[in-house]
């Protein structure tokens, strides 16, 4: 972590930002845009990923950082689940669904790898 000076430099945060942009774009159109509950929950989950990574990075300790990264990973899982709902409701094409699932999985894996790195670098 010593080479990363700002949370914006983290791959996981950058991926979460792209994911959030995609969520906002997909939920802005058609019937999806009128499904206020699902749309809003998905937007909140995607923003939560970015926010928890940033908040954890800016926190006082690596233990807190790990806690926030865990929350971010949880939000990535929540978002993946919500995209199944969106697909089942007919809001997404198969290609859109697969692309967003891949983005969510990539972000989750990046968070996991970073968590593993932090745990290895500071064993308890």
Q: What is the pLDDT of residues 39-74, one digit of tens each?
A: 999 999 999 999 999 999 999 899 999 999 999 999
CA distance 81 to 103: 13
Given this model, what pLDDT does residue 122 score? 74
* CATH class name, domain 8-121: mainly alpha
Given this model, what pLDDT does residue 123 score? 61
Residue with token string 């971010």: 72
- In the DSSP assignment, the letter for residue 2 is T
Length of the chain counted residue by residue = 124
Given this model, what pLDDT does residue 9 score? 96
CA distance 96 to 26: 9
Given this model, what pLDDT does residue 40 score? 98
**Residue 9 CB-density burial (10 A; 0-12 exposed, 13-18 middle, 19+ buried):** exposed
Is residue 41 within 8 Å of residue 82, measured between CB atoms?
A: yes
Residue with token string 């689940």: 81
Which of the residues in the chain have pLDDT under 70? 1-2, 123-124
Residue with token string 């997404």: 92
């Amino acid at each position: 972590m010593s080479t990363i000076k700002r949370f914006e430099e983290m791959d996981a945060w950058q991926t979460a930002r792209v994911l959030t942009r995609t969520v906002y774009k997909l939920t802005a159109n058609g019937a999806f845009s009128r499904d206020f509950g699902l749309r809003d929950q998905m937007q909140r989950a995607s923003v939560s990923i970015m926010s928890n990574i940033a908040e954890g990075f800016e926190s006082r300790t690596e233990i807190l950082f790990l806690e926030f990264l865990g929350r971010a990973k949880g939000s990535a899982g929540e978002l993946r689940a919500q995209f199944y709902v969106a697909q089942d409701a007919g809001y997404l094409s198969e290609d859109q669904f697969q692309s967003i699932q891949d983005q969510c999985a990539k972000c989750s894996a990046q968070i996991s790898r970073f968590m593993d790195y932090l745990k290895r670098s500071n064993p308890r």
